[in-house]
């Protein structure tokens, strides 16, 4: 990928016409903006953690630089102003407040829009940009500082502003120069100026002067690639007028994360502690520096100086981290899709060869075919695994949504997540976002009550919104729960009857009633907000989950206590382990993971239960369907048939068929839109003998026969 760099001039630079490079810049910037959003939300919980501010600053700085490289000048300039404001926050001049964080989030959104839209921009975007910058300026207490590498000093006790880390070339070392001036030193202003000037030319300087109190000293932190001796030389002229100690500052600690934070993270990962709880407790801790000064153990000046060194080390580590080789790479989804397709074809061919080998009875061949089968299965699993991403990526996107919704609707919401590293196929994850957003909106809008109502009901504020993800066998279960009002069966009945969906005499179980909320237009919301209430969102949830993702949705609710929506999804859309069966001359496949048991039936036995279409199985009466009947297959059934029991949600269901053939690696082939309305069949697969077998859509069959 060639990148051409233009020399900067004062006029508008010529546009890069290397589209690939620009695309990479956009992609990376969008990722950075996601990190920025996450970090801002973290900062909201712990507003005193300035390292987070630093992180945000660096992100904006990087974005500014990248934008400049591809001549996105409007973005670059906007980022520059944002960076200036952030610099003020870093140096303590601009306090962290909710309006400020809201503005930073808005600025992030604005930048995101600009990276997605062509850089030409339009007047609406310009107005937006000007508005955000004006509001930022309104918050700042002092005129914005220029962002040249700071050579100036700050006075104790405020933490000094660290100079922007130099981004390139030789790894810079850090030096801590402790200088105790004699009166002769302080008298010689000229020498002091010259000294500081000299230092600035050798690297970046942070100067901390302690001029009050019993101890007078200067602490200089110098980041430079010069050697120690060269540094000593700089002080030759003032050597007699002060006491000088120069020490190299090196980062020899393994990690920049303090121990107590690491302990906290382990507990959070285990689910013993929620992230919010962790942050809250940590915020209660008094910083070590404050404690030391309060005890009189160390002077506040020395603490401030040490803090400056700590900052320098952090910056160095940050630089080092960025220089480290990546241990992961970005791969385009298209490439992964091609890989999956190739694997699917490989499985088909291998299955055919297997069959030929079995018929041929050549022992060597059969042995090698077994090895090939094992290898193919392993490659298959590996490739499918490449497309798996953790659900956590969705969960963290929702944090922002929840925050904004809660603010907009006047609710207090605490979002709790568990199982964030449960993995799902990328395509499933992409389609899952919208339904989950609908469910979250509903929870916050209609489920969770306003704080006043909650305290009256004896519930804690804030309301809890819980998102969990777990694996069970071949499925992933995702749950959206809230401890809000819950569903009112009475109201749902009433609404359904008004809409003509339910007759007065019909009685439904609570679960069946709850399923009605998925019908378009059914909503018991008394007010329609612009967020929800029309009864359309749940309809989308059901069709996406059951139609496109071949999963199930179930609702549980206790009026007054809360609601839980459970989504069950198959792990992969491409290949499943199936049970191959036959009815008449057609072959079918049932998903292996849902199979509970198989029985043999003679004709008399099946005739016995013909009336009710219910079969007794393990103390339950299981409804069943005859494949021959359901699919209108010709010919009489054989003497002995088989009943296969499957699990479907919380219930069991049975299929009567002619013969069970065995397990089969089922590469799922879509039937295409020609057969999009096919009932009871969700796809097809190719058997070893070249025949096409149909994959049974259990949910569809159940829906059609109940």
Residues that bind another protein (CB under 8 A): 345, 348-349, 586, 630-633, 669-675, 677-681, 684, 686, 690-694
Q: Determine the Cα–Cα distance for residues 562 and 484; give it in Å rounded to an integer.
A: 4
Q: Specify the residue, 278 or 627, whose C-beta has the smaller distance to another protein.
A: 627
What 538-546 contacts at long range (C-beta under 8 Å, 24+ apart), as own/partner pairs, is 538/438, 538/442, 540/434, 540/435, 540/438, 541/435, 541/438, 541/439, 541/565, 542/518, 544/431, 544/432, 544/434, 544/435, 545/435, 545/569, 546/699
Give φ, ψ of 242 to 5 degrees.
-160, 170
The SS3 assignment for 295 reads helix
Q: Specify the residue, 227 or 679, whose C-beta has the smaller distance to another protein.
A: 679
Give φ, ψ of 533 to 5 degrees.
125, -15
Q: Specify the residue, 237 or 675, whose C-beta has the smaller distance to another protein.
A: 675
Q: Specify the residue, 85 or 347, whose C-beta has the smaller distance to another protein.
A: 347
Q: How far is the CB of 372 from another protein (least distance, A)?
A: 17
The SS3 assignment for 68 reads helix
- Cβ within 8 Å of residue 297, ≥6 positions away: none
Q: Specify the residue, 200 or 671, whose C-beta has the smaller distance to another protein.
A: 671
Q: Specify the residue, 157 or 672, whose C-beta has the smaller distance to another protein.
A: 672
Q: How far is the CB of 355 from another protein (least distance, A)?
A: 14
- Cβ within 8 Å of residue 597, ≥6 positions away: 617, 618, 644, 645
- Cβ within 8 Å of residue 511, ≥6 positions away: 554, 555, 556
Q: How far is the CB of 633 from another protein (least distance, A)?
A: 7
Q: How far is the CB of 682 from another protein (least distance, A)?
A: 11
Q: Specify the residue, 223 or 586, whose C-beta has the smaller distance to another protein.
A: 586
**Strand 620-626 to 651-657 pairing:** parallel
Q: How far is the CB of 344 from another protein (least distance, A)?
A: 8
Are the C-beta atoms of residues 110 and 125 closer than 8 Å to each other?
A: yes
Q: Specify the residue, 293 or 684, whose C-beta has the smaller distance to another protein.
A: 684
SS3 content of the chain, % helix, strand, coil (to 5): 50, 20, 30
Q: Specify the residue, 21 or 630, whose C-beta has the smaller distance to another protein.
A: 630
Q: Determine the Cα–Cα distance for residues 357 and 368; give it in Å rounded to an integer.
A: 9
Q: Determine the Cα–Cα distance for residues 41 and 39; give it in Å rounded to an integer.
A: 5
Q: How far is the CB of 206 from another protein (least distance, A)?
A: 59
Q: Is the peptide bond before 462 cis (omega within 30 degrees of 0)?
A: yes
Q: How far is the CB of 447 from another protein (least distance, A)?
A: 39
Q: How far is the CB of 678 from another protein (least distance, A)?
A: 5
Q: How far is the CB of 629 from another protein (least distance, A)?
A: 10
Burial class (CB within 10 angstroms; exposed 0-12, middle 13-18, buried 19+) of 8: exposed
Q: Determine the Cα–Cα distance for residues 549 and 573; give it in Å rounded to an integer.
A: 8
Q: Specify the residue, 11 or 706, whose C-beta has the smaller distance to another protein.
A: 706
Angle (deg, nearest 10), helices 50-69 and 300-323: 40
Cβ count near 520 (within 10 Å) = 15
Are the C-beta atoms of residues 128 and 135 closer than 8 Å to each other?
A: no
Q: How far is the CB of 583 from another protein (least distance, A)?
A: 10
3-state secondary structure 200-214: HHHCEEEEEEECCCC
Q: Specify the residue, 76 or 669, whose C-beta has the smaller distance to another protein.
A: 669
Q: How far is the CB of 339 from another protein (least distance, A)?
A: 16
Q: How far is the CB of 701 from another protein (least distance, A)?
A: 11
Half-sphere exposure of 131 (CA within 13 A, CB side): 9
Q: Specify the residue, 482 or 697, whose C-beta has the smaller distance to another protein.
A: 697
Q: Determine the Cα–Cα distance for residues 109 and 131; give it in Å rounded to an integer.
A: 13
Joined together, the tokens standing for residue 585 give 């001359």
- Strands of the sheet with 463-472, listed across from one edge: 413-418, 463-472, 475-482, 562-570, 552-558
Q: Specify the residue, 134 or 674, whose C-beta has the smaller distance to another protein.
A: 674
Q: How far is the CB of 702 from another protein (least distance, A)?
A: 15
Q: How far is the CB of 699 from another protein (least distance, A)?
A: 15
Cβ count near 630 (within 10 Å) = 17
Q: Specify the residue, 29 or 351, whose C-beta has the smaller distance to another protein.
A: 351
Q: Determine the Cα–Cα distance for residues 90 and 315; give it in Å rounded to an integer.
A: 13
Q: Determine the Cα–Cα distance for residues 601 and 639; give it in Å rounded to an integer.
A: 9
Q: Determine the Cα–Cα distance for residues 539 and 517; give it in Å rounded to an integer.
A: 8
Q: How far is the CB of 685 from another protein (least distance, A)?
A: 8
Q: Specify the residue, 282 or 681, whose C-beta has the smaller distance to another protein.
A: 681
């Amino acid at each position: 990928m060639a990148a051409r760099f233009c020399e900067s001039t004062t006029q508008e630079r010529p546009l890069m016409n290397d589209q690939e490079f620009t695309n990479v810049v956009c992609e990376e910037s969008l990722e950075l903006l996601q990190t920025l959003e996450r970090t801002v939300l973290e900062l909201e919980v712990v507003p005193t953690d300035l390292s987070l501010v630093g992180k945000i600053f660096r992100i904006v700085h990087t974005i500014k630089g990248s934008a400049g490289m591809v001549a996105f000048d409007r973005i670059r300039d906007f980022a520059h102003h944002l960076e200036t404001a952030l610099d003020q926050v870093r140096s303590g001049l601009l306090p962290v407040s909710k309006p400020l964080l809201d503005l930073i989030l808005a600025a992030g959104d604005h930048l995101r829009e600009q990276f997605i839209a062509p850089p030409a921009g339009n007047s609406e975007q310009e107005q937006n940009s000007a508005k955000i910058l004006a509001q930022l300026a309104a918050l700042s207490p002092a005129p914005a500082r220029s962002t040249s590498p700071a050579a100036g000093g700050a006075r104790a006790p405020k933490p000094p502003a660290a100079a922007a880390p130099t981004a390139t070339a030789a790894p810079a070392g850090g030096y801590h120069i402790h200088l105790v001036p004699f009166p002769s030193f302080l008298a010689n202003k000229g020498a002091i100026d010259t000294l500081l000037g000299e230092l600035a030319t050798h690297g970046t300087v942070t100067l901390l002067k302690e001029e009050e109190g019993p101890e007078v000293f200067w602490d200089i932190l110098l980041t430079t690639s010069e050697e120690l001796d060269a540094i000593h030389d700089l002080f030759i002229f003032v050597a007699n007028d002060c006491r000088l100690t120069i020490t190299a500052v090196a980062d020899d600690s393994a990690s920049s994360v303090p121990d107590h934070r690491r302990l906290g993270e382990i507990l959070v990962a285990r689910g013993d502690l929620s992230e919010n709880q962790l942050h809250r407790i940590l915020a209660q801790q008094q910083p070590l520096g404050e404690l030391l000064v309060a005890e009189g153990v160390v002077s506040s000046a020395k603490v401030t100086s040490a803090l400056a060194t700590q900052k320098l080390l952090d910056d160095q580590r940050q630089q080092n981290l960025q220089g480290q080789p990546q241990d992961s790479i970005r791969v385009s989804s298209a490439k992964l899709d091609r890989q999956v397709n190739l694997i699917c074809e490989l499985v088909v061919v291998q299955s055919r060869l297997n069959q030929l080998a079995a018929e041929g009875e050549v022992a060597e061949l059969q042995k090698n075919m077994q090895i090939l089968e094992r290898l193919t299965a392993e490659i298959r699993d590996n490739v499918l695994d490449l497309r798996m991403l953790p659900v956590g990526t969705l969960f963290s996107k929702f944090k922002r949504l929840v925050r904004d919704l809660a603010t907009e609707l006047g609710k207090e919401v605490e979002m709790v997540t568990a199982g964030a590293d449960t993995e799902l196929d990328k395509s499933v994850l992409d389609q899952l976002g919208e339904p989950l957003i609908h469910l979250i909106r509903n929870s916050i809008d209609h489920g969770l009550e306003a704080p006043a109502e909650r305290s009256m009901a004896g519930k804690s504020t804030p309301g809890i919104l819980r998102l969990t993800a777990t694996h069970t066998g071949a499925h992933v279960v995702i749950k959206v729960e809230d401890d809000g009002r819950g569903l009112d069966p009475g109201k749902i009945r009433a609404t359904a009857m008004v809409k003509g969906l339910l007759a007065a005499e019909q009685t439904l179980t609570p679960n069946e009633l709850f399923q009605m909320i998925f019908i378009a237009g059914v909503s018991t919301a008394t007010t329609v907000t612009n967020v929800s209430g029309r009864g359309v969102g749940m309809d989308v949830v059901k069709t996406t989950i059951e139609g496109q993702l071949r999963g199930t949705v179930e609702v549980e609710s206790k009026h007054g206590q809360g609601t839980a929506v459970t989504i069950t999804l198959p792990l992969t859309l491409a290949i499943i382990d199936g049970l191959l069966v036959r009815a008449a001359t057609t072959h079918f496949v049932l998903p292996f993971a849902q199979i509970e048991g198989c029985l043999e039936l003679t004709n008399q036995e099946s005739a016995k239960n013909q009336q009710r279409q219910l079969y007794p199985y393990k103390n339950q009466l299981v409804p069943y369907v005859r494949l021959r009947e359901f699919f209108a297959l010709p010919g009489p059934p054989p003497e002995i048939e088989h009943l296969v029991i499957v699990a479907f949600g919380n219930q069991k269901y049975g299929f009567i068929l002619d013969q069970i053939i065995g397990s089969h690696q089922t590469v799922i082939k879509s039937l295409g839109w020609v057969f999009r309305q096919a009932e009871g069949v969700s796809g097809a697969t190719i058997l070893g003998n070249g025949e096409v077998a149909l994959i049974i859509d259990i949910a569809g069959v159940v829906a059609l026969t109940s």
